[in-house]
Each structure stands twice: as C-alpha cells, then as structure tokens.
C-alpha cells in the first residue's frame, strides 16, 4: 500500500503533532508500506527531497506565509500528483493547506484519513480572527471529506467544536488513538550534565515545551513565589527543555521574558533536547508541569513520556490533556491559568511522591507505542478500530 502524509511542518521541526505523525509514518514504513510525506520547505536550507527513516519526504516551495500557514502553487501541483499515485492520503490537522490534498485524493477516487491532532488558537486581534476563521473552514472541509477521522482521546473529541459539528451533521464517529509514546532510556552522563547546569535545588520542576502562548508558562513562573512560601525555601528550579524561538511566537517571547528576568535565579532554559535524549531530562526532575491554557494542547505527549520514566505530572484540566493523569493516577490536574493551584499541586506531589508513582508496567501498557501503531495501521488499512481512550 502507498500512503501519503500531508503535514505543514515536518522534520527537523519538533512538536507533539510532528512527532506523532512521524512515528506513525515511520512505523508504517518499517512494516513494509511505501510511505511519503508532503510538507512545506519552511526553511530555505531544507532539501526539497530526502529520505528520513524509510519515509520519502517531499517539500513544497511557497510564495507567501500567513501566520503559521503558507500560500503555495507548488503545493497545489504536488498535492494533485502525489494524491493520485498513493492509495491513502493522511491529512494531519490543523493544516490550512490540508484541504488541497484532501480534495485531490477524493477527486481521484482515493481514501482520505484526517488526524485531528489539536485545534489552533491564535492570539486576539482582528487579523488573527480572520486567519483562524479561514483555518477552521479549511480544517472542517478536510474533516468532512475524510473517510475516517482520528483524534487522540474521546474526551477531546467530545469537547472539540469542529469534531462536534462533524459528528452532529456529518453523522460519523471519531476514532480515538493515543499517540505513540516510546520508552526513553536515560544516560547518566547527560543527566549529570544537566544537573551541573542547575545546581542543587530542593525541587526541580520540569517543563518540556516550546516557548509558545498555549503552553501557559507565565502561570508557572507566577507560581514561583507561592511554591517558595509553601516549601519555606528559595532553592527551587524551573527547568525548561524546548525551542525558545518557535515559529510565530516572537510577541509571546517578548512578553514572557519579563517574567524570566524577574525569576532568573529560579528559571533555567536548557534549549531544545533531541526527543530520544529526553529520558535523561526526566531523570533529573521531581515533577513535570503542563500549564497549558487552551485546546491547542490536546494530549501532552511529554507527560506520558515522564510517567513512563516514573515522574509524576501536574497538568491543566483541559479536554484530552487531563486524560493521562486521570487514567494513570500519576499526578494532579488543576484549573488552567491558576498559579495558586499549580503551586499547591507541585508542593503536594513533592511532599508525598509515593502517592503519585505507579507501576511503570501499567503505565507503559496504556501508552504503548506498539499498541498505538497497530491501531493506526488498522485504520489506514480500512479496518475498524475502537478503544476507551
């Protein structure tokens, strides 16, 4: 079978969306399928064609960039050609350009699968409101054309506006498949290197995220004084692993750096750590925090990685994001944008970590990458799949 993935950003760009899509694509390639990815040449230094872990990656040049989306004649041409030569096209949403390969595939009698990884919530402003409206029309069109729609959890599907419209008017169900989460091994030398950079605090609070508005890092920074007061010490560190200059987040970075300067003794940026090395990051933290604020965060793959490493989590009480904690009991959920609740939860876990640490085997079974990939393979092959995520 020949399978085409449509996605705006791909390797070397790193986000939860790109990692999930790449892991599914690479697993299909390992199983013997012919897998291709159509993506954008978001940086001019990227090659137009290359093979990455068995996947043929083809990039389209673009004429103009609108927020995180692109206007591209090359995308139009390649979408028609590639959709016609593949049996199945997988549209990874949100993606403004995804409607083009979706239409191309349907017109040529091919099957379409839409994976709704998350929603995109842009900052306030009339320009962003127009962009978001156009994006939602495009995304809904891709969902409507799809023969099968996939998202990570039933919780997220129930609370998503677009998926709700689809199930109400499209008279179809949404398949829930947890994204593939590999078990990450730690290397003592790398963990020790991280520890040398942060010193010897009483508590190390980890964040694994891009410096992006939906991640809500300001609420964690604002929780620092409260954590210090509850612990009666200033020996705390908030250690952040992730991109510090992600696409489209320049204004947010300017805003957040004011808080960073205020708490410069407590905040450490380690920069982007390759995904396969994140096990060494989790090994040196006491708790991982996901202070996400909106539905752009739909699951939080990093919290599943942390749990598999035996690290408890504090996560925002958002659809999809709360599922890993509620399913495993490895942490606490708190209201979004609530610094006081964040501080109390972090300190509670630090005081009694044994209450939030479960058997790794149980956690690994729930987040099994093999189980996820097998489920996705069934969907791609046209078979029904149902679970309780």
Q: What is the DSSP string of 37-77?
A: EEEE--STTS-SEEEETTEEEEEE--SEEETTEEE-HHHHH
Q: Do 205 and 342 fall within a single domain?
A: yes
278 neighbors 183 (Cβ within 8 angstroms) = no
Q: Do 88 and 197 fall within a single domain?
A: no
Omega prior to 94 cis, within 30 of 0: yes
Q: Do 132 and 225 fall within a single domain?
A: no
User: For the domain that residue 317 is a member of, what is the CATH number?
Assistant: 3.40.50.2000
Q: Do 154 and 99 fall within a single domain?
A: yes
* pLDDT band with cut points at 50, 70 and 90 for residue 385: low
Structure-block tokens of residue 205 = 């609070």
Structure-block tokens of residue 286 = 């006491």
pLDDT digit string, tens, across residues 204-228: 999 998 888 889 999 999 999 999 9
Q: Do 144 and 194 fall within a single domain?
A: no
Residue-level pLDDT at 189: 94
pLDDT digit string, tens, across residues 47-87: 999 999 999 999 999 998 877 788 899 999 999 999 999 99
Q: Do 252 and 156 fall within a single domain?
A: no
Q: Do 375 and 358 fall within a single domain?
A: no
Residue-level pLDDT at 386: 58
pLDDT digit string, tens, across residues 58-67: 999 999 887 7
Query: Could you tell me if residue 201 is inside a domain?
Result: yes
> How many distinct structural domains can be found in the chain?
2
Residue-level pLDDT at 345: 97
The C-alpha atoms of residue 240 and residue 206 are separated, in whole angstroms, by 6
Query: Could you tell me if residue 136 is inside a domain?
Result: yes
R_g of the chain computed on alpha carbons:
21
The C-alpha atoms of residue 299 and residue 154 are separated, in whole angstroms, by 11
**Average pLDDT of the residues in 15-35:** 95
Q: Do 239 and 285 fall within a single domain?
A: yes
96: left (phi over 0), alpha (psi -120 to 50) or beta: alpha
- Bridge-partner residues for 331, per DSSP? 313
Q: Do 177 and 245 fall within a single domain?
A: no
The C-alpha atoms of residue 59 and residue 40 are separated, in whole angstroms, by 5
Query: Could you tell me if residue 387 is inside a domain?
Result: no
Query: Could you tell me if residue 319 is inside a domain?
Result: yes
- Bridge-partner residues for 70, per DSSP? 65
Q: Do 203 and 345 fall within a single domain?
A: yes
For residue 307, give its domain range: 188-366
219 neighbors 226 (Cβ within 8 angstroms) = no
Predicted TM-score (pTM) above 0.85: yes
């Amino acid at each position: 079978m020949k399978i085409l993935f449509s996605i705006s950003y791909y390797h070397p760009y790193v986000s939860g969306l790109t990692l999930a899509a790449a892991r599914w694509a690479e697993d299909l390639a390992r199983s013997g399928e012919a897998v291709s990815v159509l993506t954008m040449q978001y940086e001019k230094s990227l090659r137009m064609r290359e093979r990455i872990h068995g996947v043929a990656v083809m990039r389209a040049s673009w004429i103009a960039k609108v927020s995180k989306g692109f206007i591209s004649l090359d995308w139009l041409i390649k979408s028609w050609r590639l959709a016609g030569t593949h049996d199945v096209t997988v549209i990874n949403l949100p993606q403004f350009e995804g409607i083009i390969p979706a239409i191309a595939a349907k017109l040529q009698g091919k099957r379409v699968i839409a994976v709704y990884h998350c929603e995109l919530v842009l900052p306030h402003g009339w320009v962003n409101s127009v962009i978001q409206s156009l994006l939602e029309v495009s995304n809904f069109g891709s969902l409507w054309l799809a023969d099968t729609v996939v998202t990570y959890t039933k919780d997220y599907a129930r609370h998503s506006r677009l998926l709700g419209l689809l199930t109400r008017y499209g008279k179809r169900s949404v398949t829930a498949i947890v994204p593939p989460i590999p078990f990450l091994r730690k290397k003592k030398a790398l963990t020790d290197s991280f520890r040398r950079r942060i010193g010897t605090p009483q508590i190390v609070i980890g964040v694994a995220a891009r410096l992006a508005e939906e991640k809500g890092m300001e609420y964690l920074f604002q929780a620092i004084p409260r954590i210090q007061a509850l612990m009666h010490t200033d020996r705390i560190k908030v250690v952040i692993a992730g991109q510090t200059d992600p696409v489209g987040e320049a204004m947010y970075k300017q805003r957040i750096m004011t808080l960073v300067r205020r708490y410069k003794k407590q905040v450490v940026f380690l920069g982007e750590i390759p995904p396969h090395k994140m096990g060494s990051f989790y090994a040196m933290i006491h708790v991982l925090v996901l202070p996400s604020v909106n539905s752009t965060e739909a699951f939080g793959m990093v919290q599943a990685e942390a749990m598999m490493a035996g690290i408890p989590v504090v996560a925002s009480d958002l659809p999809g994001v709360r599922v890993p904690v509620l399913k495993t009991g490895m942490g606490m959920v708190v209201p979004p944008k609530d610094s006081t609740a964040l501080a109390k939860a972090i300190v509670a876990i630090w005081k009694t970590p044994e209450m939030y640490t479960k058997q790794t085997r149980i956690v690994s079974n729930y987040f099994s990458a093999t189980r996820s990939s097998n489920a996705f393979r069934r969907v791609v092959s046209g078979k029904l799949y149902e679970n309780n995520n």
